[in-house]
Copies of this chain bind each other. A is one copy, B any other.
Amino acid sequence: MGLTIGVDIGGTKIAAGVVDEEGTILETYKVPTPPSADGVTDAICSAVSAVSSHHTIEAVGIGAAGYVDDKRATVLFAPNINWRHEPLKDKVEQRIGLPVVVENDANCAAWGEYRFGAGQGHEDVICITLGTGLGGGIIIGNKLRRGRFGVAAEFGHIRVVPDGLLCGCGSQGCWEQYASGRALVRYARQRAKATPENAALLLALGDGTPEGIEGKHISEAARQGDPVAVDSFRELARWAGAGLADLASLFDPSAFIVGGGVSDEGDLVLDPIRKSFKRWLIGGAWRPHAQVLAARLGGKAGLVGAADLARQG
Instruction: List residues of A whose CB falls within 8 A of some B CB.
Output: 67, 76-77, 84, 122-124, 138, 140-141, 143, 145-155, 157-166, 169-172, 174, 178, 190-191, 193-195, 242, 245-247, 249-254, 275, 278-288, 290
Contact B195 A275 (CB under 8 A): yes
Distance of A290 Cα from B163 Cα, bound (Å):
24
- Please state if A169 and B282 are interface contacts (CB–CB under 8 Å): yes
A245 touching B159 in the complex, CB below 8 Å, given contacts A143-B141, A254-B149: yes
Q: List 29 A-B contacts (CB under 8 A).
A: A77-B283, A84-B286, A124-B147, A138-B250, A140-B140, A147-B251, A148-B288, A151-B283, A153-B252, A154-B250, A154-B283, A155-B250, A157-B249, A158-B246, A159-B160, A159-B245, A159-B246, A164-B165, A165-B165, A170-B194, A171-B280, A174-B282, A191-B279, A193-B285, A194-B278, A195-B275, A195-B278, A195-B279, A247-B250
17 other A-B residue contacts (CB within 8 Å) besides A140-B140, A161-B162: A67-B283, A67-B287, A77-B286, A138-B250, A147-B253, A148-B252, A148-B254, A149-B287, A152-B249, A154-B249, A158-B249, A159-B280, A162-B162, A162-B242, A163-B164, A170-B194, A195-B279
Copies of this protein in the assembly total 4
